[in-house]
Structure 1
């Protein structure tokens, strides 16, 4: 391998490396190393300013060193930082591409959009606070409607926010929200024809909405639901609107009933019938081991060992019994599991026939010989006192 001196790299490559550095590192460290690096930092024009832990003195110094037109990303965290932001002219950042607010309320948001004339924004993330049920999700200011966002993330505290679809977001390709009902899900897909990635944290669905007669199909490519006890019936209602889905992730760390979401046959039929274009599937579910329906881990993994899973899908499935927590986890690999530091567990994969006893952090798999013991069969039995025997 040929070693390349960093100082001999083309300036364009060095600037690409700078894209992964924060402004403080560039201005307070790299800029001070040599005159050459100082000159390269001086002509860099893609600064991302993150006003979170920065002191006011440092903020003033950074603002003195960087011309506003060299800033492409701004992030404000907390009440004091947002108040400082409202006191400056945000329109001076003429090349701003990304804007993030953490803990901003509706009044502050409306004040911002009432004066903002920037039309270069393509990405926005908002963490709303102190929201009442009568407030709207999207500010009604005409200035907001002039934006051409392709990415939008909303994190709010309270429920009951009313959706208003404005011309500013009909070009969205990526949308991330914390709370979404089934009705809002349908509205999102209907009003955002260009949406390709939808990430939902908490999904809610009433039984009365399961039989809604929806007569359209979305071009959504990726659907990620990261913290919801969604049922198989609800999932079928969601994906019937997205026949072009290529990536699906369903993840929840809360204990749930041992239901059909643990059944490989259900997933196989769902993919065959409704998700024929699916390229990748990720899921994580957990249930209590105190369950008469579960006799051994292999019975859970067995439906994921059919020819369909071995040849038609690009994922393997692992079932894990966490002895100390008395929980059973079922998940696809690579893992999207909670990262427990110390865990004594028994794992079985759909790719082999062995139970692997492992002691260590969850990120250590059963390919690490030093911390595992393999056996051919492992049964779960529950006695009359509901104490686990093995």
Structure 2
């Protein structure tokens, strides 16, 4: 057996493959590959030539490469008043398109259309797709009628035009077999059927009917039967069974019926499987293909199983073998859809949904394309699912729960809604007890009450796969948290628990502390913004004394204060696993810092400590400096937004000069002044382990910048430096630039919000152009950008390392993990 390749295939087969490629791909990607393909493309005679904004720049070049007799499709996809027709006619001789079969023109007027029809010199044209200017529809229709007769057109598409039938003068022996139009009235529809005897396919947006059409049909309407084979209505709006039955009564030979309605919200007969079964048996005996897609609101449907059951009779499953599905659409969480599978519909994206098919009645979570054949393996890539809307209630949670119980791919589920009650949480808890793949569950910004928390707690006791649980901003109180704390004692898989913003207070900390004594898996606990005071920290400290697993504890934005600091110290003294502790916004002040610093002297595990916004002044800084002289494990220390004095900065700098473990230090937004720069310049010179230093917003000015610049000349270790928002002007910026010209250690520096002028930026860029260590330089900000955007943009184009900072805000240039 010889090896097969594209080049060994018969030319006819390769031509067939080319029919699935666009012209640009054929000419630019396939034709130049080799002489053989070059020859095959040159002999190809089924080109589709398209002129639009995307192809206009290459259109002339492509046209010259294609033999005009090889062009069978011509598309001019233009915007209104864009001059595309004039451009096309100036480039192409339409008379040479001797094998043209299909013509499509968007936004065309009478004059241009007449020019086209006069220039086309072929009897091969069989398909027209025209979208005329609305103001010229009536005059354009006359010429389209003439073209139908002249060219013997078989396919006509005017799907953007409503109610055009009455304005058309159809030829006596009209050759149309396919017609696509916008909305039409019932009587226009009848006119089409009567005057176009060869018509076999109609696609229309709407067929508008009123009560009189049903109660008093005209005599002429009841005396004929059309031979129409396919009928599609893309915005089906008939609200009564009588209207539909009258519409279909003229087309008993239909083999294909497609009805979709994106905006039709009524829950009525179109959702009734028994109705459709009887309707088809009586009215459409020849029907081979049936397609529907209808939407309604979730409150209209009691149960998806009840909705799909009538479509699971022998008529659907065995006789017709039409597969139907109903689904709760998650990203539009007020929607229930009923549809055949597969089906092609005009939607923005294929929805993630809880779907029940008539094949087996099983609820599945799926993102399978609607036009794809039913295949459960199509959802193997569905890993993450998010539901964020107040529209999700207990009913929707039941659908979601049913889908989760059988799902074997989703690992992360996020649900945020203010309308999920205890019953909804119960549904979710049931799923958690049976699902074996979900590892992360985010239930943030819900309102989980006591009963719901109990259901969730019971599920956690039995679940064996969940490792991350987020319950942020759920307004939980002591009773709700108690149920979760009980579950933690028995749960053996959860490693991350986030209870941020739940107003837990001190009472809950006792239960949580008891749970932490017995829990052997939790490694990360987030308790920020819970109004925890000293008594709560005491309970937590008692629980962590013998805990051998917790590594990260986040206590930001509580009310620990000076009174709770001794208990924080107890945690640091007695716990031997904690590596990261976040204490921002707790106002423990200098007296409280004394306890924490004392414990740090002997702690041998903590590597990250954040004490931002705690009212720390000079004395507190001195306590921390003493700890840094003795501690040998802390790697990252953050002291942003305190009130550290120049003396406090000196103590810290002196400690850092000899400290051999700290790699990241942040003391930004302390407004300390020039002295801070003077002291930390010595740190930059002499410290051999510090990699990241943040001293932004400290009023350093040009004088402070001079100290830093001088130190950078001798720097051999510091890689990241933030000196933004320090009032450094031209003189200081120049000194920093000169210092960086030959610096071989620094890789990133932030100088934003220092009032840098364009001339300063240019000088900086020119000075560091040969420095290959620097990978990021933040020079430009929203103020320097105003009025100079073009110059600064050009500067950035020349050196991509130069960045633009949009927002002063709470930026973190150094790492904060």
Q: Give TM-score, length-normalised by structure 2.
A: 0.43
1:148 touches 1:169 (CA, 8 Å); kept in 2? no
CA pair 2-201 structure 1, distance change in 2 beyond 3 A: farther
Residue 287 of structure 1 corresponds to which residue in structure 2?
296
* Structure 2 counterparts to residues 125-140 of structure 1, below 5 A: 125-132=129-136, 134-135=138-139, 137-139=141-143
Give the Cα separation in 1 of the matches to 2:203 and 2:52: 25
Alpha-carbon spacing, 1:57–1:316, altered in 2? closer, same or farther (3 Å): closer
1:148-206, Cα deviation, whole Å (9 max, x unpaired): 12212113356566442433982222221222221221111112111112111233223
1:36 match: secondary structure: helix
Of 290, 296, 307 in structure 1, the residue corresponding to residue 314 of structure 2 is 307
Q: How far apart, in 1, do the equivalents of 2:272 and 2:127 lie?
A: 38
Helix, strand or coil for the counterpart of 2:277? helix
Which digits, 9 at most, give the CA deviation of each residue in 1:270-328, with x for residues without a partner?
1111100001111011111223xx32222222222333223322212222223561222
Q: State the distance in 1 between where 2:369 and 2:15 align.
A: 37
SS of the residue aligned with 1:111? helix
Contact 1:229 1:256 in 2 (8 A): no
Gaps of 5+ in 2: 383-402, 407-418, 425-817
Q: 1:265 to 1:127 in 2, by over 3 A?
A: same
Shift of 1:140: 6.0
Q: Does 1:227 align with 2:235?
A: yes
1:248 aligns with 2:221: no
Report the 3-state secondary structure (helix = DSSP H, G, I; strand = E; otherwise coil) of the residue aligned with 1:29.
helix
Alpha carbons of 1:46 and 1:124: their partners in 2 closer, same or farther (altered >3 Å)?
same
Q: Is 1:263 matched up with 2:263?
A: no
- Aligned pairs for 1:266-277 within 5 A: 266-277=275-286
Contact 2:131/2:160, CA 8 A, preserved across alignment: yes
1:83 aligned onto 2:75: no
Of 191, 212, 236, the residue aligned with 2:217 is: 212
Q: Does 1:331 align with 2:362?
A: no
Structure showing the higher helix proportion among its residues: 2
Change (3 A) 1:274 1:387: farther
The equivalent of 1:166 in structure 2 is 170
**TM-aligned CA distance change 1:114 to 1:141, over 3 Å:** farther
Distance in structure 2 (CA, Å) of the matches to 1:35 and 1:366: 42
Larger radius of gyration: 2
> Structure 1 residues 223, 387: CA separation in 2 closer, same or farther (over 3 Å shift)?
farther
* Shift in alpha-carbon separation, 1:302–1:198, aligned structure 2, 3 A: same
For residues 55 and 12 of structure 1, the distance between their equivalents in structure 2, rounded to whole angstroms, comes to 28
Question: What is the aligned residue count?
Answer: 377
Please name the residue that 1:382 is paired with.
Answer: none
Higher strand proportion: 1
CA-based RMSD: 3.1
Q: Deviations over 1:80-129 (max 9, x none)?
A: 22222344542221111111111212332233324444221011111222
More moved, 42-51 vs 22-31: 22-31
Contact 2:304 2:356 in 1 (8 A): yes
The Cα offsets for residues 310-361 of structure 1, whole Å up to 9 and x where unpaired, read as: 3322212222223561222111122446465663x4332323344x252656
Distance 1:281 1:51, change over 3 A: same
| 2:404 matched residue in structure 1 | 373
SS in 1 for 2:135: coil
My pick for the range that moved more, 294-303 or 185-194, is: 294-303
**Once structures 1 and 2 are overlaid, which stretch shifts more, 39-48 or 152-161?**
152-161
Partner secondary structure for residue 156 of structure 2: strand
Change over 3 Å in CA distance of 1:224–1:349 after alignment to 2: same
- Measured in 1, the distance between the counterparts of 2:257 and 2:106 equals 28
CA spacing shift, 1:209–1:181, aligned 2, 3 Å = same
Residue of structure 2 equivalent to 1:103: 107
Question: Partners in 2 of 1:269 and 1:2 — Cα distance?
Answer: 57
Change (3 A) 1:141 1:224: closer
1:121-140 CA distance string (max 9 Å, x none): 01111122233574453526
Uncovered stretches (5+) of structure 1, i.e. residues with no partner: 376-385
C-alpha contact 2:293 2:337 (8 A) present in aligned 1: yes
Tell me the alpha carbon deviations over residues 17-70 of structure 1, each in whole angstroms, 9 at most, x when there is no partner.
222222222222322122222222222222211112455552222232223222
Q: Distance in 2 between matches of 1:133 and 1:7?
A: 50
**Contact 1:135–1:162 (8 Å) recurs in 2:** no
**Structure 2 partner of 1:19:** 19
Shift of the 4–112 alpha-carbon distance from structure 1 to 2, 3 Å rule, reads same
Give CA deviations for 1:219-254 in whole Å, capped at 9, x if unaligned: 111111112323333321221111110011101112
Contact 2:165 2:192 survives alignment (8 Å): no
Match of 2:612 in 1: none
Correspondences of 1:185-204 after superposition (within 5 Å): 185-204=189-208
Q: Say if 1:152 and 1:3 are closer, same or farther in 2 by CA, change over 3 A.
A: farther
Residues 156 and 65 of structure 1: CA distance in aligned 2, closer, same or farther (over 3 Å): same
Change in CA separation of 1:162 and 1:366 when aligned onto 2, cut-off 3 Å: same
Q: In the alignment, does 2:251 pair up with 1:239?
A: no
CA deviation vs aligned residue, 1:338-386 (integer Å, no higher than 9, x gap): 465663x4332323344x25265665978358664348xxxxxxxxxx9
Deviates more, 1:329-338 or 1:251-260: 329-338
Deviation at residue 269 of structure 1 after TM alignment = 1.7
Map of 2:6 onto structure 1: 6
Query: Normalised by the size of structure 1, how large is the TM-score?
Result: 0.85
Bigger mean CA deviation after superposition, 324-333 or 201-210: 201-210
Determine if contact 2:323/2:341 at 8 Å carries over to the other structure.
yes
Answer with 70-79 or 1-10: which moved more.
1-10
Q: Secondary structure at the match of 2:183?
A: strand
- Distance of 2:314 and 2:368 partners within structure 1: 32
Does the CA-based 8 Å contact 1:113-1:144 persist in structure 2? no
Task: Assess, with a 3 A threshold, how the Cα gap between structure 1 residues 228 and 2 changes in structure 2: closer, same or farther.
Answer: farther
Answer yes or no: is the 8 Å Cα contact 1:280–1:314 preserved in 2: no
Hey, what's the Cα distance between the residues in 2 that align with 1:317 and 1:223? 19
